[in-house]
Every structure is written in structure tokens, then in C-alpha cells.
């Protein structure tokens, strides 16, 4: 299997499809690189090199006990880009992966980066507070951790509904979407599942976003029931100089997977890559 070994000995699995300018996809929680298969094929078919890794503790990467924080995730990403000697890269990140991308730029800069796409990303801050009233209350994150610890298989089945907005009339979510979500979630370690909640709930990415100095596309659904657009996508677009914001009407958190939205995102992504 294609593996990059990090500075602390963790094996990071990745897919590497096509040839051309590199596009690196960073998955959300609790998924893995398989979530990007449609987009990997699309960019490879269009003459780019698509790469998607499994975060530590997720998918086929080492099921470690610790290291579930954004400084570590960002350094893992740096190890991947450095070991593969990737340059002029477009980074595409979903959900929690948006925090990984932001912290990577905050810690390592943009020397290797051409442009950035943030999809349904958690930046700049998820947790509700006096300065972030649009955010998510701490009680929601506490309930997520309780659900994982109580009976994670059923919890993931239940969570898939809101993840894809399958509870909305006229939605196009398939049973396959929900099954794929469950399968990927079950490949994440239970320790990683719980620890990542604390990480993506409370990590502040304001300063990381202010270091962005490359073209940035922000895509978010206005029916995102996991990462509210008013707390994240709209604020991110204001913080990043020159960022372009696209809000998909009725779009769920799982835009890149749901029929209809994934085709629209694929078109927007390829147009952005060809600029």
C-alpha cells in the first residue's frame, strides 16, 4: 500500500491517481480518503494528480492512541507533502479537514501551495461563545462523545441522517450514502472519534486564516446541520483576503457525496483548478 511514515513513526495511507499538477484532498470527520473517490477520479480525468490520505487513526492509517490535535494533523500533512515532494498544490478540505488545512498554512506557510478550497469547513471556530453566538453549544459536542462511547455503530447510523440532510423533504440522499458514511466511521478508532470532537469543537483558526495568501474558494451548504454556515463559511470568507464564497441552497454537510450537489461541486472545483 502507498504509505508515508511521519516524523513520529505513524503510517499515513494515501491514494495517488493521475498525473499533472497536484490536488490534495483532506477528508472530514469521521471519514477517510475514500470520501473523495468521485473528486479524485474527476481531477485525474481532467489532467491533474489527485491525492487523498487517511488521517491518523482513520481508515488504513495507523490506529494510534494519541496525536488527535490540529498541530499534529498539520504536521502529518506537511510530512505527506514533503515526502512526496509536492509543489504548486491545490489543497481541498472538507469539514474537520478545513481545520487541518488552515493549521497547516498557519504552521508551514504556503510555499508549496497554489490555491485552497474549503468545503463545509469548521473554520474559524465551531464552539459557541460570547464572541461566537452563531456557533454550536458545548452540550452538542458532549452528546456526540456520549453517543460514540455508548454504542458507536448505531450512533453513526443516526448521525448519517443529519450529515446528509436526509431528514429534509425532497432530499436526494441514497441509502448508499448513509451506508458509506457508517462504514468509514466504523474504520475510525473510538479514541480518535472522541478526541477529535474536543479538537474540532474548541480549536480557534482565526490567526491561521489570516495567514492565507493564495486564491481561496469557500463552499458551504445553507442547510448544513453539522457545521452551521453562519458560524463558519461566511466568517471564513470574510477573514481570508479575496476569498470567493459559494453557498449551495439546500446543501447538506455531505455536499461532495450527495447526488446533485457532488456534480455541482465537481464543476465548481474543476473551474477553480483551471484558473
Asked whether 136 and 126 are in contact (CB, 8 A), the reply is yes
Mutual angle of helices 70-83 and 96-108, in 10-degree steps: 70
Q: What angle do CA 58, 56, 38 make, to 5 degrees?
A: 50
What is the spatial distance between Cα 137 and Cα 95, in angstroms, rounded to a whole number? 17
Q: Under 8 Å CB-to-CB from 51, ≥6 apart: which residues?
A: 14, 15, 16, 17, 22, 23, 24, 25, 80, 84, 86
Of the listed 54, 224, 252, 261, which one is catalytic? 224
| Set of cell numbers at residue 249 | 441552497
Q: Is 220 a catalytic residue?
A: no
Catalytic site includes residue 131: no
Q: Is 88 a catalytic residue?
A: no
Among residues 237, 242, 234, 255, the alpha carbon closest in space to that of 171 is found at 255
Set 53, 58, 94, 253: catalytic member:
253
CA 142 remoteness from chain centre: 21
Instruction: Give me the phi and psi of 125, to 5 degrees please.
Output: -165, 130
Catalytic residue among 54, 79, 95, 165: 95
Residue numbers annotated as active site: 95, 224, 253
Amino acid at each position: 500500500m502507498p504509505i508515508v511514515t511521519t516524523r513520529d513513526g505513524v503510517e499515513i495511507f494515501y491514494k495517488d491517481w493521475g498525473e499533472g499538477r497536484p490536488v490534495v484532498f483532506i477528508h472530514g470527520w469521521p471519514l477517510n480518503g475514500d470520501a473523495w473517490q468521485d473528486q479524485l477520479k474527476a481531477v485525474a480525468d481532467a489532467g491533474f494528480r489527485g491525492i487523498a490520505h487517511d488521517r491518523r487513526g482513520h481508515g488504513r492509517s495507523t490506529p494510534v492512541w494519541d496525536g488527535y490535535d490540529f498541530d499534529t494533523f498539520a504536521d502529518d500533512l506537511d510530512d505527506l507533502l514533503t515526502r512526496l515532494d509536492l509543489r504548486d498544490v491545490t489543497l481541498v478540505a472538507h469539514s474537520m479537514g478545513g481545520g487541518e488545512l488552515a493549521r497547516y498554512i498557519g504552521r508551514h506557510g504556503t510555499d508549496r501551495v497554489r490555491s485552497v478550497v474549503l468545503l463545509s469547513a469548521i473554520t474559524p471556530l465551531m464552539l459557541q461563545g460570547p464572541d461566537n453566538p452563531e456557533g454550536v453549544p458545548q452540550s452538542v459536542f458532549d452528546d456526540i462523545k456520549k453517543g460514540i462511547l455508548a454504542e458507536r455503530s448505531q450512533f453513526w447510523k443516526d448521525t448519517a441522517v443529519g450529515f446528509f440532510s436526509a431528514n429534509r423533504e425532497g432530499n436526494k440522499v441514497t441509502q448508499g450514502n448513509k451506508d458509506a458514511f457508517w462504514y468509514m466511521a466504523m474504520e475510525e478508532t473510538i479514541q480518535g472519534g472522541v478526541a477529535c470532537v474536543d479538537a474540532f469543537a474548541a480549536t480557534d483558526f482565526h490567526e491561521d486564516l489570516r495567514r492565507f495568501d493564495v486564491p481561496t474558494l469557500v463552499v458551504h451548504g445553507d442547510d448544513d446541520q453539522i457545521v452551521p454556515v453562519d458560524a463558519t463559511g461566511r466568517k471564513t470568507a470574510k477573514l481570508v483576503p479575496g476569498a470567493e464564497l459559494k453557498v449551495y441552497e439546500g446543501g447538506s454537510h455531505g455536499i461532495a457525496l450527495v447526488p446533485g450537489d457532488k456534480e455541482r461541486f465537481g464543476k465548481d472545483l474543476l473551474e477553480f483548478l483551471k484558473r
